[in-house]
Structure 1
Amino acid sequence: MWRVGIDVGGTFTDLFAWNEEDGSYKTAKVLTTKDDRSRGVLESIETAGLPFDHISFLMHGTTTATNSLIERDYPDAAFVTTEGFRDTIEIGRQHRKALYDPYQTKPQPLIRRRHRFTIDERMSAKGEVRRELQDEAAREIAREIKARGYGSVGIGFINSYANDAHEKKMRDIILEEAPGVHVVMSSDTRPVFREHGRFTTTAIRACLMPIMTHYFDRLSEVLEERGFAGKLLILKSNGGVMGAQNAKLRPEELIESGPAGGVAYASYLSRHAGFENIIHTDVGGTSFDVSIVEKGEGLITRDHELEWEVPVAVPMLDIHSVGAGGGSIGWVDEGGSLRMGPQSAGSTPGPACYGRGGTEPTITDANLVLGRLNPSLSDKFELDKTAAEAAIDRLAEKIGLSRLETADGMIKISCETMAQAVKGVVVARARDPRDFVLASFGGAGPMHACFVAQAMSIPQVVIPGAAGVASAFGATAMDMRHDIETFHYAALGEVKVADLNRLYDQIEADARKRLAADGISDDSMELRRTAQMRYVGQTYEVENDIPSGELTDSHIPQIATAFHAAHEKEYGVSNEAFEIAFVSLSVTAVGKMKEPPVYDFSGQKSVESHATRPVYFDGTWHDAKLYDGKNIAPGAKMQGPAVVEYLDSIAVIPPNCSGEVDKSGNLVVTIGN
């Protein structure tokens, strides 16, 4: 039987599959079918030659949820909230993205004001009823929801994290008056304080639920029609997977579903190739993703924003994405400056050189013109160099540069955009980039990785043999995972240990139920406790590990010591004189699954170059040596300038850089000045 990972990106749909009996593997890369992404999933399986009835697990990363939100492409959803809080999701926290920009505008609200309803009810922060929710007022809103034909409704009442009785009553009334409507509650979506994040995340779930339910039902149907009888698992933003049924109920956990597979592959590299600290980067056709992996684990954030002031308040891998991919389009702004992206040619029509009707100059066109890209695209299809040159010539005429200067400028601008994204993640987490290696994934990633590393003073770049399908490979290396949280505010010195034990027991019981629903046996479950904690008076929290088992008063000093250390690691400072407080309690529940074999992607041949090709670097043509990546043996060394051609990606080694193939077939490049 085959275990299959599929990553649906903006331009390409990637597949990596490994055989559970003999460890053999297959890969595929096809163009994404934007009109119906499930077609691309099927095409990738057929291209790889996999029998549908021989697939045990299909692990699927998708950008459908993210694209729907960014494009606001979903049916109108309703939102019911406490009177006086109708505009919370639109007002936000009144932060400014650019302090001195008088023309900045907020993103379009996820749910427009005309679709938001209010009702006179009130809970206190301690969960005490201040004003009862009136039955008739609730029914009037429910009848209006039915009359307008909404398919989904979010309910977000103030302080419902402390007492969800009113939200449950509102839900029940809506379901009575408008049966069949998807109803989601903020107390179920995210039962913690800070209503902006809680309401926004609830709105995201309400908006996405019809879209993702339709997509997963459609995908399941077409797979079953072709004989698939295995288990469909969906990649989550927290670095795990869950069953399709759970994914339909919790679509807000899919925002970084696609890039999460790349982080999983970086973790795999960390465990098996000896790279302890990795900056994971992934360049696809549309976007550039970056995150940090330390000691085999991707860093988690609870402060992710879909857009400015649109928070997604669920635990997610700390991934930052920018519009810089192989399909990023070059253009000239009003001041006459060359700019790149974020708009992308995508898979349709694609870069000009694809010969599919695209006419705009893209990064892929620039790499082809500069000689860095194989015109046969690793024998997948022939690229049209003449069309690429024509597209870049039109851009060059606008800015008064030559064709080569324009193409080189396009690459440099895009690489600087990528470097700034790396800087944003690394510096925000108080890490030094010189302590990391940069792992480059994606079909377009290895062409640009060395230039990004040079800009950030990162000493080494690692390019795996399966870099072009890394996110799909990573999908097959992921475990089931659920993160469950509940609000509990108490000063550490005054907390009742009995309350901690009771709440952790409740959360862990819920976690076990979710894993059991995904088919995980008790002996394959691993539960880890954490708590969101802060110094009293702070407005942000730090995640702190909590001992498992029965807690006693003797654990309190141990918890305090761990918090001080965690705070200093994140922010560079701690103070044992300050009082500490719990804010919320969490459990991460992992269902262990079979991991892929330790693959050796190297070949058996020496490092001899099979040819040379003129490649343009910094205003000069160089005779770069060409290497067949799948045939290079471990220990082989090469000196830049060089181009290493893999099945699904192409690595560019600039002048003054050198590469060596390690025992697993990873190309490790040492960055020169």
Structure 2
Amino acid sequence: MLRVGIDVGGTFTDLFAWDEEVKGPASVRTAKVLSTPGDPVIGFMNALSKAGIKPSEIGTIIHGTTIGTNALIERKYPEPALITTSGFRDTIEIGRQRRKNLYDPYQIKPRPLINRSRRFTVTEKLGSDGSTVKPLDREEARKVAEHIASQGIKNIAIAFVNSYVSGSHEQEMREIILKAIPDARVALSSETRPKIRELGRFVTTAIRAALFPVVSDYFTRLEERLRETGSKAPIFIVKSNGGMMRSNTAKERPEELIESGPAGGVAAGAFLSNLLNIKDMIVTDVGGTSFEAALMENGRGLVTDEYELEWEMPIITPMLDIRSIGAGGGSIAWIDKGGSLRVGPQSAGADPGPACYGRGGTLPTVTDANLVLGRLNQTLSGKFKLDYDAAVNAIRTVADPLGLSVLDCAEGIIEIVCENMAGAIRMVSTDRGRDPRDQTLIAFGGAGGLHAYKVAEAAGISKILVPPFAGVACAFGATTMDVRHDLEATFYAPVEDLDSTELTNAFTKLEHDCRELLRNDGILPNQITFERNALMRYIGQSYEVATPVPNGDLDDSIVADVAAAFHREHKREYGVSSEDFPVAFVTLRLTGYGQVAKPDASDLEAALGAGDENSITSAKNQRKVYFGGQHYTVDVFDPAHLSAGQEIQGPAIIEQPDSEIVLPINAKAQVDQYGNIIITNQGKAVANGKTLVSTKEEVL
């Protein structure tokens, strides 16, 4: 049976499938088709058809999707109601009263997720210890419920100010809501993410309520379509934390899908880290709409609790620290008011797409620039024929006002977008105290190999790795995932006053709840493992550092060891620590894994690995490519005909099935046994005997 990973992006829908019963190249199927933003189910089914996969052949589906993120950013969801404590109606709009741009007097805050007319308050108050200060005013609550019912609202968020310590009032409010609206979908902050600080908890709960109908409708339609075509396979959804969950669970926890697609790339990075023993890496993914970067240490992606959907909209569910910017193949080049060339964040997307797609687009994009420069195959690796003349005309709209030739303008577009991508790499590395020069750049995405060398050069990274599945990496990564759930609970206690028995009991409760989630996802008891962390801080600090906690019963000596570990983690994260300041536990986090079967190294080598010494190692053809102000005739290689250990000196092109790798003049590449292309910077220009065929004045 096939284990199928499908990632729906803004421009392309990618597929990677393993046949668990077959060995060798025949075990792998891939596909890349244009996404269908109007109905992603169509693009999903098109990918299966393009790969020649019958739904009845599928054993498991793992699906990464941006449907939740897109709905939130575009505010395309049935607007929910929010019920909160009297006096806190405007919390999600006021935020933390910070400024995104300190000296910009004209900045405008993003539109709130829920408009004020749909935010309601009731009288209630719990103390910070869970005691009742003011009981819920049931008559007031009943009137609010009836008013919401009269407006036809069916998805509702309930977020009371101190419900992180007890959900009793929220549960009482839900009962009143369900009496008035029996078919309502209700999200409680005490169940969504019971953590101290109300803004993040309120926003995260509002997101759950907003996405209930969006995610449920999409997954239900997808399930029905697959059943109609003969599939009985369970559908798992990629989560923002780098794991996956069943589609039925995802319908109840849609806020955990915000970085669903890019998380597949981090999973692919973890697979490569384990396979090649690369400890520190930066995983990048260049798609049609965006560029994502994530730092990985010891084969694991770093997790953040400070993700913001937009300014002052924190989502407090644990998520991989993935930075996304509007820089991809469809990113549009434009001229700002100062007369400077800019690229992105606007994108041509899948419809109409870049001008060279011939689908009605006229604006110049990064893909158009790569085509004009000769760096992109004019058939897009056999997918469809690109319109070279349309690309030239599009680039000319910005080249002429700048007084540049089309070629020089196109090269400028590539330089700018690569510098933008390098900026995202700095955000995930230097912003967290890591030096990018110590990392290996892993290049994923259909356009990843096109820009990998220039991006690495701009970021100061000397080693690049492009795997054979780079063009469908997020879909590949999805097939290597385990089921994963992260549960949290507020547990504020200074270390010196801590009762270790209470700490053990708190983790035991989280383990019980996590087992239930894993069981609902079809995981057997012998497949379950747990990992504990405590979010801790020096007393008086505002934010916490995640610190490992051993499994099992805890005693005072173990707690002392955890406190010592906190000092080490704090120093690693911020460069300083001090045992003179008292330490406190703030939040407990339990990660539960459901181990599932996945491909191993031998499978990868047999299916995608490089050939032996008898492989055809010569170039399949040549192409004219523009580098640094002049044209070169460069060799174009087919990776299927490269042998392990073979070296390629730039300038050259390697055409993978779903992406291309550009090797500029001073780049050198080597092929390993798994078919990975490892690129290094030679530090000086080596033309490799290429013949100069024209100058920039001669063409365009």
C-alpha contact 2:286 2:444 (8 A) present in aligned 1: yes
Q: How many pairs align?
A: 673
C-alpha contact 2:159 2:189 (8 A) present in aligned 1: yes
Counting only pairs closer than 5 Å after superposition, residues 422-433 of structure 1 correspond to structure 2 as 422-433=425-436
Counting only pairs closer than 5 Å after superposition, residues 206-217 of structure 1 correspond to structure 2 as 206-217=209-220
C-alpha contact 2:610 2:672 (8 A) present in aligned 1: no
Counting only pairs closer than 5 Å after superposition, residues 246-395 of structure 1 correspond to structure 2 as 246-395=249-398
2:2 aligned with 1:9, yes or no? no
- CA distance in structure 1 between the aligned counterparts of 2:382 and 2:165, rounded to whole angstroms: 60
* Residue matched to 1:154: 157
* Residue matched to 1:641: 651
Alignment deviations for residues 478-521 of structure 1 (CA, whole Å, 9 cap, x no partner)? 00000001101000111001110111111001111110111100
* Residue matched to 1:585: 588
SS at match of 1:483: strand
- CA distance in structure 2 between the aligned counterparts of 1:332 and 1:122, rounded to whole angstroms: 54
For residue 586 of structure 1, what is the amino acid of its counterpart? R
The answer to which of 533-542 and 94-103 deviates more is: 94-103
* CA deviation after TM superposition for structure 1 residue 629, in Å: 1.8
* CA deviation after TM superposition for structure 1 residue 427, in Å: 1.3
Q: CA distance change for structure 1 residues 54 and 610 in 2, over 3 Å: closer, same or farther?
A: closer
SS at match of 2:345: strand
RMSD of aligned Cα (Å): 1.0
C-alpha contact 2:610 2:674 (8 A) present in aligned 1: no
* Residue matched to 1:612: 622
C-alpha contact 1:531 1:586 (8 A) present in aligned 2: yes
* Residue matched to 2:549: 546
C-alpha contact 2:154 2:181 (8 A) present in aligned 1: no
- CA distance in structure 2 between the aligned counterparts of 1:672 and 1:449, rounded to whole angstroms: 15
C-alpha contact 2:645 2:673 (8 A) present in aligned 1: yes
SS at match of 1:493: helix
Task: Choose the corresponding residue for 2:417, options 394, 409, 414.
Answer: 414
2:668 aligned with 1:665, yes or no? no
For residue 566 of structure 1, what is the amino acid of its counterpart? E
Counting only pairs closer than 5 Å after superposition, residues 59-70 of structure 1 correspond to structure 2 as 59-70=62-73
Counting only pairs closer than 5 Å after superposition, residues 112-131 of structure 1 correspond to structure 2 as 112-131=115-134
- CA distance in structure 2 between the aligned counterparts of 1:116 and 1:400, rounded to whole angstroms: 54
C-alpha contact 1:153 1:184 (8 A) present in aligned 2: yes
For residue 483 of structure 2, what is the amino acid of its counterpart? M
SS at match of 1:586: strand
Unaligned runs of 5+ in 2: 684-700
* CA deviation after TM superposition for structure 1 residue 157, in Å: 0.5
2:400 aligned with 1:397, yes or no? yes
* Residue matched to 1:107: 110
* CA deviation after TM superposition for structure 1 residue 638, in Å: 0.7
Alignment deviations for residues 214-260 of structure 1 (CA, whole Å, 9 cap, x no partner)? 00101000000001101100000000000011100000000000000
- CA distance in structure 2 between the aligned counterparts of 1:222 and 1:244, rounded to whole angstroms: 14
* Residue matched to 2:569: 566
C-alpha contact 1:607 1:637 (8 A) present in aligned 2: no
C-alpha contact 1:530 1:545 (8 A) present in aligned 2: yes
Counting only pairs closer than 5 Å after superposition, residues 457-472 of structure 1 correspond to structure 2 as 457-472=460-475
* CA deviation after TM superposition for structure 1 residue 377, in Å: 1.1
TM-score, length basis structure 2: 0.95
Alignment deviations for residues 30-86 of structure 1 (CA, whole Å, 9 cap, x no partner)? 100111101111111111111211211100000000000000111111101111111
C-alpha contact 1:453 1:671 (8 A) present in aligned 2: no
* CA deviation after TM superposition for structure 1 residue 606, in Å: 4.5
For residue 26 of structure 1, what is the amino acid of its counterpart? R
Counting only pairs closer than 5 Å after superposition, residues 217-228 of structure 1 correspond to structure 2 as 217-228=220-231
* Residue matched to 2:93: 90
SS at match of 1:471: helix
TM-score, length basis structure 1: 0.99
Counting only pairs closer than 5 Å after superposition, residues 469-508 of structure 1 correspond to structure 2 as 469-508=472-511
Task: Choose the corresponding residue for 1:171, options 171, 174, 177.
Answer: 174
- CA distance in structure 2 between the aligned counterparts of 1:374 and 1:68, rounded to whole angstroms: 34
* Residue matched to 1:438: 441
- CA distance in structure 2 between the aligned counterparts of 1:540 and 1:11, rounded to whole angstroms: 37
* Residue matched to 2:528: 525
C-alpha contact 1:233 1:244 (8 A) present in aligned 2: yes
- CA distance in structure 1 between the aligned counterparts of 2:241 and 2:411, rounded to whole angstroms: 37
For residue 631 of structure 1, what is the amino acid of its counterpart? H
- CA distance in structure 2 between the aligned counterparts of 1:497 and 1:265, rounded to whole angstroms: 38
* CA deviation after TM superposition for structure 1 residue 398, in Å: 2.5
Unaligned runs of 5+ in 1: none
C-alpha contact 1:465 1:630 (8 A) present in aligned 2: no
* Residue matched to 1:242: 245
- CA distance in structure 1 between the aligned counterparts of 2:83 and 2:197, rounded to whole angstroms: 17
Alignment deviations for residues 637-671 of structure 1 (CA, whole Å, 9 cap, x no partner)? 01111111010000001111101011111000002
C-alpha contact 1:630 1:647 (8 A) present in aligned 2: no
- CA distance in structure 2 between the aligned counterparts of 1:151 and 1:368, rounded to whole angstroms: 49
- CA distance in structure 1 between the aligned counterparts of 2:678 and 2:564, rounded to whole angstroms: 39
* Residue matched to 1:229: 232
- CA distance in structure 1 between the aligned counterparts of 2:101 and 2:637, rounded to whole angstroms: 46
The answer to which of 339-348 and 604-613 deviates more is: 604-613
2:135 aligned with 1:135, yes or no? no
SS at match of 1:498: helix
- CA distance in structure 1 between the aligned counterparts of 2:244 and 2:623, rounded to whole angstroms: 43
* Residue matched to 2:188: 185
- CA distance in structure 2 between the aligned counterparts of 1:632 and 1:312, rounded to whole angstroms: 46
SS at match of 2:429: helix
- CA distance in structure 2 between the aligned counterparts of 1:274 and 1:537, rounded to whole angstroms: 40
* CA deviation after TM superposition for structure 1 residue 274, in Å: 2.5
Alignment deviations for residues 409-437 of structure 1 (CA, whole Å, 9 cap, x no partner)? 11111111100010011112211111110
* Residue matched to 2:686: none
The answer to which of 358-367 and 270-279 deviates more is: 270-279
SS at match of 1:3: strand
- CA distance in structure 2 between the aligned counterparts of 1:535 and 1:420, rounded to whole angstroms: 32
C-alpha contact 1:2 1:17 (8 A) present in aligned 2: yes
- CA distance in structure 2 between the aligned counterparts of 1:32 and 1:631, rounded to whole angstroms: 30
SS at match of 1:133: coil
